[in-house]
């Protein structure tokens, strides 16, 4: 899906075609430099979901041992 050239959300003076893969907000290469192409807010959300899944799995593992 081609995006038009837009301005970065955090740096309005930078033009960019890069967008976050989850929220589709435009970000320049200074804001998103990792290979997942997720903005900072989405990275925190993904991290929280992974943490909750890990806690649920460990809880289920402990309950089956007892």
pLDDT of residue 18: 81
Domain membership flag for residue 1: no
Question: Residue for token digits 């909750």?
Answer: 52
List phi, psi (to 5°) of 15: -90, 145
Domain count, the chain: 1
- From CA 40, how far away is CA 10, in angstroms rounded? 11
pLDDT in tens, 7-44: 787 788 888 888 888 888 888 877 776 788 888 889 89
- Domain range holding 32? 6-65
User: Does the structure show a pLDDT above 60 at 1?
Assistant: no
| Other CB atoms within 10 Å distance of the CB of residue 2 | 4
Domain membership flag for residue 55: yes
Domain membership flag for residue 24: yes
């Amino acid at each position: 899906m081609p995006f038009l050239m837009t301005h970065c959300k955090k740096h309005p003076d930078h033009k960019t075609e890069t967008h976050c893969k989850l929220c589709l907000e435009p970000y320049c290469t200074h804001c998103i430099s990792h290979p997942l192409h997720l903005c900072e807010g989405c990275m925190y959300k993904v991290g929280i979901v992974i943490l909750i899944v890990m806690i649920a799995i460990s809880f289920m593992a402990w309950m089956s041992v007892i």
